[in-house]
Amino acid sequence: MIKSVIAGAVAMAVVSFGANAAPQGQGKVTFNGTVVDAPCGIDAQSADQSIEFGQVSKVLLNNGGSSTPKNFDIKLTDCDVTNYKKAGKAGTVSLTFSGVQAGTDMLQTVGTTNTAILVTDPHGKAVKFDGATATGVSSLVDGNNTIHFTALVKKDTSGNDVAEGAFSAVANFNLIYQ
């Protein structure tokens, strides 16, 4: 009898231990955003992008070539163009880009590689990084819209040969709704 009471107590302890198990991991979810006075929002992944060029040939760049083009998009979400047009607007958007310029139409990279980034807008026109010159105009529709860009690495305008090493560049953009 005592053995069965002890066995029962052990069984109860094992069962109750599982019910009170310690947490198996934890985390946190933070929600952030910004309300803007515009007909569209910007997709969170479009607002902060990183374009990877990988390894680019120094010989190719020094001989006037460029890297493989990399496409990237700026996605506009939940656009209410119908009501925007009712307010007398055209329902279009263009962008301005800012950053450290290399010449008139390239973005200077950071590092000692003597490279720059050339970006073209949806119309094939080189983007200027002066913060003032707008890209070509893109028409908007209600719902989601995507504006396509292409980037490539080239030799910068310094006149120096391209050198080995890592490079990076940052460009900021602003939307201009018409």
Q: What is the pLDDT of residues 101-156, one digit of tens each?
A: 999 899 999 999 999 999 999 999 999 999 999 999 999 999 999 999 999 999 99
What are the chain's domains? 41-177 (2.60.40.1090)
Share of the chain above pLDDT 70, in %: 88
CA atoms of 13 and 153, how far apart (whole Å): 66
Give the C-alpha distances (Å, rounded to integers) separating 52 from 20, 62, 77, 131, 151.
47, 20, 24, 23, 10
CA atoms of 162 and 115, how far apart (whole Å): 6
Q: Please tell me the pTM assigned to this model.
A: 0.81
- Structure confidence at residue 121 (pLDDT): 96
- Model confidence at 3, pLDDT cuts 50, 70, 90, reads low
Average pLDDT over the chain, rounded to an integer: 90
Closest of 83, 51, 50, 73 to residue 138, by C-alpha:
73
